[in-house]
Amino acid sequence: MDYSQFLILKEELSLIAVIVILFVADLFMSPDAHKKDGNPRLNTMLPVVLLTIHTLITIIPGPAADAFGGMYHNAPIQSIVKSILSVGTLIVFLMAHEWLKRPDTVIKQGEFYMLTLSTLLGMYFMISAGHFLMFFIGLETASIPMAALVAFDKYRHHSAEAGAKYILTALFSSGLLLYGISLIYGTVGTLYFDDIPAHLDGSALQIMAFVFFFSGMGFKLSLVPFHLWTADVYEGAPSVVTAYLSVISKGSAAFVLMTILIKTFAPMVDQWQEILYWVIIASITLANLFALRQENLKRLMAFSSISQAGYIMLGVIAGTQQGMASLVYYVLIYMFANLSVFAVITIIALRAQRFTLEEYNGLYSTNPKLAFLMTLALFSLAGIPPFAGFFSKFFIFAAAFQGGFHLLVFIALVNTIISLYYYLKIVKSMYINKSDEPIATFRSDNYTRASLVICTLGIIVLSLASVVYQSIDKFSFGLN
């Protein structure tokens, strides 16, 4: 066996090293082993530093290469997506500092970091998979620890119920997906992505195999009609876990779905584009309509994420190089904007102990900087120019339009106008609505401020630097 091929897995090996170091460090930094004044000691700096080093080491894409007989494939675009996910995870760690300071969570800080990085490792393998077995192993490695994260606050905010709903939904969706993969193997006799297209002829069994596979991925992406778990899980999970689930998990699944459709199901492009067409319309429209009715901010953001998943699928349905570039660019901007919103939700909830929109009444009068940063993020999510979200929507609409989906783009544009209502409803609460007891003026911890600064800089810089999109486009690929 050629052991040098392990060097191709530089992102995975680097992340495993981070996990091992944190695992060993947690043995010595746990409350029983290291106490200060009789209290557990919180250590956020170590995972932040290690993950920063990991990101810097792996941020420069390497050449395309295969390992383990083609089961693992890494190309520059995969490395770019992994770096985006690493940056997002780093922001989540910064956001989690104040939450982890609570007496009931400080003793579980090591478990939080281990579970989060384990899901990230699974996403890495899923992104670089060249074989359905490698893909499924990566998918389950990412999904199972996520259920534990969702149930992390098992005595608060229905977190245990949310964890149960998530794991049951994940099991059901994995069963559907695995059944689809088994049908694919039964009809073509191979699970290698590059070998499958030569054996696809669009038979009824192969179409059914794709439907099962897509249904399983639809659950992971919370696309309509596979979205029913999303609002309850987002509401019950800890806010930082909800942020991670809504951005990092969704972004990796969207990219992997597009890669598999382009590499594996290219001969069935007419069939999967038709399915995606109706799923996109349903996801964007229904999610926006349900979001209009929400007063709980986490449920509102849950339906917002379903709608955003529909927009992301516009890049997938195009199936072009431009579509992939716009998808990755959209995920990058969505990551900064959505994590910024959830950073504010997290620190407000730690003080108000509630997630209702009413808690944000008069926030500008007591915490103007926080309200301003929240507004920037919401404007970006809504796609209001000149913020970065406008350009991400423009590129992804352009990709779908050039793919010939003119009516679909028009429907998406109409829904963008609808989404303005519920995003601006939050802004109205902060700036216009009055409250007899607004959230008192407070000062966030340095880690939370750092996460907000990174997110805000990302929103501003990406609205000015077109070179980012051009760099992504250079490494993207599509249907031949």
In three-state form (DSSP H/G/I as H, E/B as E, the rest C), the secondary structure along 266-285 is HHHHHHHHHHHHHHHHHHHH
Residues in the chain: 480
Residue 214 lies in a domain: yes
Q: Does pLDDT of 202 surpass 90?
A: no
Residue 4 lies in a domain: no
- Residue 125 Cα to chain centre, angstroms: 16
pLDDT above 70 as % of the chain: 95
Q: Does pLDDT of 60 surpass 90?
A: no
Q: Does pLDDT of 105 surpass 60?
A: yes
Residue 1 lies in a domain: no
CA pseudo-torsion sign 160, 161, 163, 167: positive
Q: How confident is the model at residue 33 (pLDDT cuts 50, 70, 90)?
A: very low
Q: Does pLDDT of 36 surpass 60?
A: no
Per the CB < 8 A criterion, the answer to whether 277 and 405 are in contact is yes
Residue 96 lies in a domain: yes
Query: Which domain covers residue 306, as residue numbers?
Result: 9-473
Q: Does pLDDT of 31 surpass 60?
A: no
The pLDDT tens digits for 376-387 are 999 988 888 888
Q: What is the mean pLDDT of the chain?
A: 85
Average pLDDT of span 392-404: 89
Residue 2 lies in a domain: no
Residue 480 lies in a domain: no
Least confident of 68-72, 128-132, 279-283: 68-72
Residue 370 lies in a domain: yes
pTM, full prediction: 0.91
Q: How confident is the model at residue 97 (pLDDT cuts 50, 70, 90)?
A: confident
Average pLDDT of span 56-72: 82
| DSSP secondary structure code for residue 329 in this structure | H
- Structure-token match 């249904």, residue found: 215
The pLDDT tens digits for 273-282 are 899 999 999 9
The Cα–Cα gap between 269 and 318 comes to 10
Q: What is the DSSP string of 232-273?
A: HHHHHS-HHHHHHIIIIIHHHHHHHHHHHHHHTSGGGHHHHH
Average pLDDT of span 407-426: 90
Q: Please name the helix (run of DSSP H) or strand (run of DSSP E) that holds residue 39, with its range, or none.
A: strand 39-40
Q: How confident is the model at residue 106 (pLDDT cuts 50, 70, 90)?
A: confident
Per the CB < 8 A criterion, the answer to whether 54 and 90 are in contact is no
Q: Does pLDDT of 229 surpass 80?
A: yes
The pLDDT tens digits for 449-470 are 888 999 999 888 887 777 777 8
Q: What pLDDT score does 34 carry?
A: 46
Q: What pLDDT score does 88 carry?
A: 92
Q: How confident is the model at residue 90 (pLDDT cuts 50, 70, 90)?
A: very high
Q: What pLDDT score does 100 carry?
A: 83
Domains in the chain: how many in total? 1
